[in-house]
Copies of this chain bind each other. A is one copy, B any other.
Amino acid sequence: MPCPAENALEGLLSTYHELNNAFVPRVPGPPTPLEFLQYVRRNQPVVFTGLMEGWGALERWDDRYLRERMQGCSIDVAVTPLGNADSIVNVDGVEHFVKPYTSSEPFSSFMDYLRSRHMNASSTPPSTIKYAQSQDGNLSKEFAALAPDLPPSLAFADSALLSAPDAVNVWIGNSDSTSALHKDNYENLYCQVLGKKKFVLLSPLEGICVREKSLPVASYDPQGKIIKEEGHSINGWPSVDPDVGESGKWWGKARPMRVELHRGEVLYLPALWYHKVSQEEGDEGICCAVNYW
């Protein structure tokens, strides 16, 4: 018997794809609140250029400056064997959702790690890959010394969404790390400071295409060994890698959009959009971004 849900969902997807962009537009920013809301109301990702002009972060951040400002500070660093924080890993034949090990270390030693990797960029990645990606509003915590170089919030978004951001996060890493496809429950403004990021984006309606799974949870230990967290599981984690795809019927109906975010550009990523993020470091081996959500 044919499944009526299948027709209905195919109809929703094809109507959605007909009515919406197949690409992420690049428009000059900053937008007015009303202009920004045109993208929000269409639930449509967009890149704003020129929005970060005059930001201290864009003008001053480099290896030397960051070390100077962060002198004496420690930060949380995600540590994994494959640069795969929060991803699906097969453990004894069973897929697990595996979280990184998190260690606190001096900012300067983390920057030494990035610099040394940059000096040996052509070699194979180290067996321990580090990514500063704590997402708990770290700009007001471990990165507080950098806060004067960033606006505390984005005025156009505050006006449009009728609230200040819940959190502002600094991300520092290099091309060894990738964030697997996932979604966040936040309207997200992602601001590129150094290097660039590559996003693959899928709309919330494409949930069936990315084959969400319920998975047991595990974590890496400092040596990269996987420790199962008995009794813990995660729901609705997308299992398709959009850079690999799969042969299933539904993946064939997905329309992943790709966009590169360059220094000084801001990506508006609507809440609940699936995104995979890979990155390329800039001149000094650093990929650095700040996001408001």
Contacts and interface: CB of A to CB of B under 8 A. Distances in A.
Interface of A: 3-6, 8-12, 33-34, 37-38, 40-41, 43, 159-160, 162, 205, 207-208, 236, 250
**How many protomers of this protein does the assembly include?**
2
B3 A34 contact: no
Nearest to A270: B41
Contacts of A33: 34
Given A4-B250, A5-B3, A11 B41 contact: no
B37 A160 contact: yes
A34 B31 CA distance: 14
A33 B41 CA distance: 13
Contact of A40 (B5, B10, B41, B205): B41
B8 A162 contact: no
Contact of A6 (B5, B10, B162, B250): B5
A94 B33 CA distance: 52
A38 B36 CA distance: 12
A34 B161 CA distance: 9
